[in-house]
């Protein structure tokens, strides 16, 4: 038999949309922070019925967490550091990555 075919690396379909969604929500977060409306958002989230609030936390976890931290009584330096690190790390893990090449017909090892 001849050499096995190698599949060229590709980013997963729709992964670019996931990155745009994440980056866009961070842009919204920092815009609300800059315009001093972030506390209003935190109040509205807290005023939701509990099942809806839990759903919002699940769907928008990093942004709601960043909102909760920013509106908390933590020291300013700690809040800035936490929110900046959360935004950077969450954005970095959202960047689409190419799949490693695999031999045709074989699944990559997990």
| Residues 65-86 pLDDT 10s | 999 999 999 999 999 999 999 9
Inside any domain, residue 104: no
Range of the domain at 23: 15-94
Phi and psi at 75, nearest 5°, equal -60, 150
Residues of the chain with pLDDT under 50: none
Q: Does residue 34 sit within a domain?
A: yes
Total count of domains within the chain: 1
pLDDT of residue 93: 85
Three-state SS at 48: coil
Q: Give the whole-angstrom CA distance, residue 4 versus residue 15.
A: 28
Asked if residue 43 belongs to a domain, the reply is yes
**Region of residue 73 (left: phi > 0; alpha: psi -120 to 50; beta: else):** alpha
81 falls within a domain: yes
């Amino acid at each position: 038999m001849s050499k096995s075919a190698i599949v060229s690396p590709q980013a997963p379909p729709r992964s670019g949309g996931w990155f745009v969604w994440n980056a866009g929500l961070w842009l919204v977060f920092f815009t609300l922070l800059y315009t001093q409306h972030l506390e209003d958002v935190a109040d509205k989230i807290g005023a939701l019925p509990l099942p809806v609030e839990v759903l919002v936390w699940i769907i928008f976890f990093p942004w709601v967490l960043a909102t909760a931290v920013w509106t908390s009584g933590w020291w300013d330096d700690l809040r800035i550091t936490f929110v900046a690190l959360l935004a950077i790390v969450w954005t970095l893990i959202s960047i689409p990555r190419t799949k490693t090449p695999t031999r045709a017909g074989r699944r990559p090892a997990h």
